[in-house]
Chain A
Amino acid sequence: MSGDNSTLKASGECRNVIGIWGDRSCSELRALDHCHNCPVYTSLGRRVLDQVLELDYHNRDDDKDTEAVAPDQRLSLLVLRIGSDWLGFDTARIREIVVPTEPHPVPHRLKPGFRGLVTVRGHIHPCVDLGVLLGCDSAQTISASPRMVLISDDSGCFAFVADEVDNLYVVAKSHITAPPISIRDATPSYITGMVRLAERDTAILDEEFLLHALKDVCQ
């Protein structure tokens, strides 16, 4: 048992297993009241700060071989899920990811894609329903950790709720393939291409067009 604990402590995971965020079975806990007061926790914090980053840390989960690709041939994407669709957004457009709040409806605005106004840090932004706008399959909408994503252009931010936010990825533009015919023929289509990330087909969105549509749906 003590052997188990020392491994746990070395990994720093003890706080989540036997510590204050775990089953609280740690024998130290009674004396210390909280993991915050524990030397293991403190040294863990130091370790995080002192950590030497691997040079290619940003490529860990990414599309393979991106280091060899010139920066202007790469694309940084935030990947998130709406319904059953995984979508990639240009990271440069993403402003903030927060816990969703209930939108305040706007009188006389009955468009299905428009949800109302939300406030984030004292700022008010229009909130849209991207699922409706993109025609995503909303069958799989049960979501454990929905997130509200703020996407911006020069006119300000728009908010929408994603059922799940996955991660940031860097992909080589050469790995992007054309969208399937069925999507290409649909009008309007917001998808410029597809890329395989974390064993999922991820659709890359046409930001320009999407933002235009967002403005349109708010009007």
Chain B
Amino acid sequence: MTDSSGFGDDMMLEMFREEAETQLGELSDGLIALETSDSSDELLERLMRAAHSMKGAARIMGIDPIVKLTHVAEDIFVAAQRAELVLNPAIIDVLLEMTDFIKAFSEGGADLEAQSETVSSLHEQLSKARAGELQSESTPPPAAAVEPEVQNTAVITEPPEDSANSPETPPVAETLEASSEGASRTTTTEQRTKGDVKSIRITADAVERLAGLAGEASVESSRVESIADDLTELRVMQRELRKSLGGIRDIIDKQATNPQLDALLQAALQQLDVCSQAIADHEERLDGFTRRFGSMANRFSREVVTGRMLPFSTILRGYPRLVRDLSKDLGKRCRLVLRGEDTMIDREILDRLDSALNHIARNALDHGIEAPDHRAAAGKPEEATLTMEAFHQGGRLRVQISDDGQGIDVESLRKTIIDRGLEQEAIAKALSQQEIFEFLFLPGFSTARQITEISGRGVGLDAVRSMVQDAGGSISLSSERGIGTRFDLELPLTRSVLRVLTVMIGGHMYAIEVARIEYATTVALENINTLESRAYFEHEGRRVALIDASEILELQDGTGDGQILSVVVFKDDDRYYGLVVDRYLNEQRLLVRPLDHRLGDVPDVAAMSTSEDGSIVLILDADELQRSMDSLIVSGRLRSRHHSGDRSQDSLKRLLVVDDSLTVREAERQLLENAGYQVDVAVDGLEAWSAVRLSDYDLVVTDVDMPRMTGIELVKRVRAEGPKRDLPMIIVSYKDRDEDRLLGLEAGANHYVSKSSFSDSDLVDAVYELIGGPQR
């Protein structure tokens, strides 16, 4: 066996990982499908191929244990294809176990040497399975979507050749293939089609760059138009020229002086006509080109956007397994039904959706779905159904997760609300079912009596809601006692394209999401009133408070028309706010890009983009803008708004934490921030040296061993040439020997703390001792 260091270079390992992910996904999907349906030829072929490819990948990498395991797995599938072996749940379990094992290895690069026992036990189990010696237990555990009839037919039709020396000859029986052939065919064909969708990995950065280039292409296409315009102008000029020449000819005609002159003039006029015609032709060709180029650039942009979309099935891969394993653990039986797997969803939304779905599914299995005997007693089928469905509706994405479990007990929920004092009894009693459900989304509101491993992992429905809201969507819940529960998620199809109104503020372009705007209007100056020194106007009987955009955004004053104001109106509950902009431009669809991360957090700005003409557009955050406008109106605070925030920060002492380990750095930062200090971080001595020269710090906490510049060097440097040579500095180190301590203190550190102790209060104490509390 090759040891793990001999696996080739990183590139190879990375490729192996990708391959493994694909093949293991296939295996896992296929095996689950085997449990739900009968073993069809296509399915077995698919599984065999996956095992084979996995074996091939492992062989190239020289990972012998995995070659060994997948080899037997491949044999098993081949035998099943030849109808020499029926894959019973016990065999499927072992195969799944193997899949998990390989997955853990490929993801974590686990040490196979150390796990040689697991490998040999897995190998033994697989070989047993291959030999047909692995039978299902007499009473199989209730598994997800497993049909009992299939379980009991786990037998072998013929003794396979290569296991002829096995001590027992398995009994002969018939498979169920014929009986359920029709049904299984359809499902596997579907899966094949899905499996055939080729995908490649591409970094988000590359997509971003493509998007940038697509935008650029549109811009370039519009530049061609200006050349076409120039040609038109040229033609107009020629027409003028023809007029002049015509005038000359008229005069010559009348005077009839020189026939030679006449002939020349005639020739000139003809040449001019030829020229004009040529230009007209060019113009037409250029026009056609511009149109085609423009539409191509447009399609390019659109493709890039759709390139960010993936089918719903991408995140569904794990769910059959999740439902199977969980229901097994919980002693329940549940069938998972997936619909709309081909629904295309934006990658970014898909990511958020995954964690939300995961939580809801776990919740349903844990709390919603009853044990089989309860279900039987209630007259429901023992096997519960969990449905996940995605579809597009009205330009939005809808995702529904429903179960046919016990539903939510509204009255007990109402009681909890009253008991916890969340609402007065009288009011709580009057709340509608829908209003009661809303409490489930409150942070910390959990009805689970005990925290279970399944669903009570500290994440509540409030987290699910915020995940969905972050993606620009909403979630609602409906439930009927005894019938079931349904979560309904509504999300935008993509966050990468927004329909916006572009406006000019302070001479530059900004955009506001159309969905957030109540209406846009113009107001004549004479219709503006003031109340308590605040401007407002009346629109349809409502008072709309006016706020100047460049004022609220702290920008240069705008160049709006003095007499007529362009106003974008927002609504918040029953309050209306009008944002005064220089002027509106138009409504367009913008490809949204996240704001440059180097800018940090910019209040009131959600994202950036480039407009059709290639200029930068900042997309304003309507929610934040509304809050800003509200506080501006309520408190009358103007430009001081953000400065006052800064001031409260300024009153705190500022520390710099230097460590090359992210974990240590963050732990220290947390510790010190919790103590009330303001904390910046640097990844090594050199960055810290830059930082202390730029900003005024009250104290530095530094590690010793770091690349580029060590902590000791940093201390020495600050003491020798720093802007503040007496800057208090603490060294934190693993090295706990006296000589190390001495070395640090000799370099000029004020304190030397052992790294093992910063989880307790040593570090904070040391900081306090040197500079006192966090207040300046």
A residues apposed to B, CB below 8 Å:
104-110, 117-119, 121-126, 155-156, 187-188, 208-209, 212-213, 215-216, 218-219
Contacts and interface: CB of A to CB of B under 8 A. Distances in A.
B614 interface: yes
Interface in B83-142: none
Contacts of A122: 211-216, 219, 610, 614
22 contacts: A104-B508, A104-B618, A107-B553, A107-B602, A108-B604, A109-B599, A117-B616, A118-B616, A119-B615, A119-B616, A121-B213, A122-B211, A122-B219, A123-B209, A124-B608, A208-B690, A209-B694, A212-B687, A212-B690, A212-B691, A213-B690, A219-B600
Q: Determine which residue in A106, A215, A216 has the highest number of CB atoms from chain B within 10 A of its CB, and name it.
A: A106
Q: Determine which residue in A105, A108, A213 has the highest number of CB atoms from chain B within 10 A of its CB, and name it.
A: A108
A108 B602 contact: yes
B168 to A, nearest CB: 64
A124 B614 CA distance: 11
A209 B555 CA distance: 30
B596 interface: yes
A29 B438 CA distance: 82
A156 B596 contact: yes
Contacts of B603: 107-108
A208 B686 contact: yes
A122 B207 CA distance: 13
Nearest to A156: B598
A14 to B, nearest CB: 28
A10 B409 CA distance: 96
Contact of B555 (A105, A121, A156, A213): A105
B199 interface: no
Contacts of A216: 694-695
Given A118-B616, A124-B596, A188 B694 contact: yes
Contacts of A104: 508-509, 615-616, 618
Nearest to A109: B602
A122 B214 CA distance: 8
Given A117-B616, A122-B213, A209 B690 contact: yes
Contacts of B599: 106, 109, 126, 218-219
A188 B610 contact: no
B506 A219 contact: no
A108 B553 contact: yes
A109 B616 CA distance: 16
A215 B690 CA distance: 11
A187 B614 CA distance: 40
A131 to B, nearest CB: 17
Q: Please classify the interface of chain B as helix (H, G, I), strand (E, B), loop, or mixed, using the class held by over half of its residues.
A: mixed
Given A107-B603, A109-B599, 20 more contacts: A105-B555, A105-B556, A107-B618, A117-B608, A118-B616, A119-B610, A119-B615, A121-B212, A122-B215, A122-B610, A124-B593, A124-B616, A126-B596, A155-B597, A156-B596, A187-B723, A208-B690, A212-B690, A212-B694, A218-B598
B196 to A, nearest CB: 34
Q: Please classify the interface of chain A as helix (H, G, I), strand (E, B), loop, or mixed, using the class held by over half of its residues.
A: mixed
Contacts of A105: 506, 508, 555-556
Give the interface size class of chain B. 35 or more
A122 B618 CA distance: 14
Contact of B605 (A107, A121, A156, A209): A107
B614 A106 contact: no
Contacts of B618: 104, 106-107, 117
Nearest to B643: A110
A218 B616 contact: no
B598 A219 contact: yes
B18 interface: no
B181 interface: no
Contacts of A187: 693, 723
Contacts of A208: 686, 690
Nearest to A107: B553
Contacts of A106: 599, 602, 605, 618
Contact of A117 (B215, B219, B596, B695): B596
Contact of B598 (A108, A119, A215): A215
A188 B723 CA distance: 8
A103 B554 CA distance: 16
B239 interface: no
Kindly list the 3 A-B residue pairs having the minimum CB-CB distance in the complex, ordered from nearest: A122-B212, A107-B553, A212-B690
Interface in B581-638: 593, 596-600, 602-605, 608, 610, 614-616, 618
Contacts of B605: 106-107
Given A104-B508, A213-B690, A110 B554 contact: yes
A209 B708 CA distance: 14
B642 interface: yes
Nearest to B689: A209
A121 B210 CA distance: 11
Nearest to A118: B616
B216 A121 contact: yes
A129 to B, nearest CB: 15
Nearest to A216: B694
Contacts of A209: 690, 693-694
Contacts of A110: 554
Interface in B151-209: 209
A216 B604 CA distance: 20
A118 B615 CA distance: 9
Contacts of A218: 596, 598-600
Given A121-B216, A212-B690, A219-B599, A108 B554 contact: yes
Nearest to A121: B216
Contacts of B610: 119, 122, 124
